[in-house]
Amino acid sequence: MSTNTNTAPDLARPAQYLGFSLAGETYAIELLRIREIIEHVPITRVPGMPPAVLGVINLRGRVVPVVDLAVTMGLGPRPITRWTCFVIVEALLDGERTSLGLLADTVSEVLDLGADDIEPPPAFGTRSPVDYLRGMGRQEQRFILLLDLDRLLSADELLGLVGAANSGGA
């Protein structure tokens, strides 16, 4: 519930972000949340999962769920290319630290963003739901959408997608 009060101080400090592309947009995640980046490997489908959860991968003997952020944000699935990869992040699901793989079209760069480089999320004009954004990072003449992983990857959010799909969503 105190997410909004914590967001402003979190964004006030300089930080590094990993930039990646997803359905033609540039997004970024705070570097401290990322464990590793791996090339695309086969995904094992698991019945009954939300549409955004593609399945699981074997990461050195560990089962890691894979989330398609484009589907989560309503951007639709994309083709797998030679640059498609998984960004392995750590998320808090039901109070437990969990490794998740995020499907990314490409990983681009590490961005250094200070407090002056970050704007609040826009109220309109993005293709992704504004609730999933922590802010917008200014980099030269462009903006990078800074994702709020805790909100985007919450169990409620992912499971809510199941309900939306089952209630007649396309």
pLDDT digits (tens, 9 = 90+) for 104-119: 999 988 989 988 888 8
What pTM was computed for the model?
0.77
Report the percentage of the chain scoring pLDDT > 90: 37
Query: Residue holding tokens 């999933």?
Result: 132
Average pLDDT for the chain: 80
Pick from 19, 54, 44: nearest CA to 34: 19
Residue-level pLDDT at 139? 83
**Rounded Cα distance, 117 and 121, in Å:** 13
Which range is least confidently modeled, 37-51, 70-84, 89-103, 143-157?
A: 143-157
Average pLDDT over residues 145-161: 73
pLDDT at 35 over 70: yes
pLDDT at 3 over 50: no
For residues 88 and 39, the answer to whether their CB atoms sit within 8 Å is no
Residue-level pLDDT at 31? 93
DSSP letter for 120, please.
P
Considering the four listed CATH numbers 2.40.128.20, 3.50.50.60, 1.10.3720.10, 2.40.50.180, the one that applies to the domain covering 3-166 is: 2.40.50.180
Q: Where are the alpha helices (DSSP H) in the chain?
A: 3-12, 69-72, 149-152, 155-166
Could you report the per-residue pLDDT of 78-135, keeping only the tens digit for each? 888 999 999 999 887 777 888 999 999 999 889 899 888 888 887 765 555 677 888 8
